[in-house]
Amino acid sequence: MPRTAALVPAAGRGDRLGPGGPKALRPLGGIPMLVHAVRALAGSRSIDLVVIAAPEDTADHVAELLAEHAFGAEVAVVTGGDTRQDSVARALLALPADIDVVLVHDAARPLVPEELVAAVVSSVRAGHPAVVPGLPVVDTIKGVDADSIVTSTVDRTQLRAIQTPQGFERAVLQRAHAAVNLDEAPATDDAGLAERIGVPVLVIPGHEEAFKVTRPFDVVMAEAVLARRRAAGNV
């Protein structure tokens, strides 16, 4: 029976978050962000296997850390690469043959709602080869020149801020990574790689709580969301 896997590139150092080790292992409510992220993926009941791409020097520690927690899915750890793109490619190679749908999720989005994970999987299994969650852009976006002079105001009605997890038919994600041209600028997400090979990417409604924890202020927001969930008995 075909199964679904989620790949979690977690080899980033998190320099913008400040000192303190790998970003994925920074605590949120006393628990590493990576553990929160894996719980959300497994808790969706849509994921059978989670593969984490960890930094080479901490891969064993990450495996031991995850072994201390109970998840509703299989969990494996592989050594990540120098870039996010490389880490995803390495995790993809570790998948067993019976996986036919693959999600890619940022460890830095630890509070992604379980229902969003399930919605992405459902959309891929409904026949969409590539699916991403996204939110309408609410800020005014302006283009500027080299001197920071405004050159245009972008029509934001057709813009979406894209989140993860991003879902793909396995064959599509494999083709997208196989077609990577190292002379091109790196794609900032896997959907960008799919776009480059002509695969249509569906955007489904995202969720405000699936935000990325990148800066110290993001940690404050994440702690507040987590505290609210705990007070409501949802954690």
Give the orientation angle of helix 59-67 with respect to helix 33-43, to 10 degrees. 50
Q: What is the pTM of this model?
A: 0.94
Quick check: 101 and 172 in contact, CB under 8 A?
Answer: no
pLDDT in tens, 193-223: 999 999 999 999 999 999 999 999 999 999 9
Going from N- to C-terminal start, the domains of the chain cover: 3-135+161-231
Q: What is the dihedral of CA 94, 40, 72, 22, to 10 degrees?
A: 50
pLDDT value, residue 20? 60
Which CATH code fits 3-135+161-231?
A: 3.90.550.10
Cα→Cα distances 40→7, 58, 223, 231, Å: 13, 22, 16, 18
- Per the prediction, the chain carries an average pLDDT of 93
Residue 19 has pLDDT above 60, yes or no: no
Angle at the Cα of 48 (from 228 to 71), degrees rounded to 5?
A: 45
pLDDT value, residue 53? 96
- Mean pLDDT score, 49-74: 93
pLDDT band at 186 (very low <50, low <70, confident <90, very high): confident
pLDDT in tens, 109-165: 999 999 999 999 999 999 999 999 999 999 999 999 999 999 999 999 999 999 999
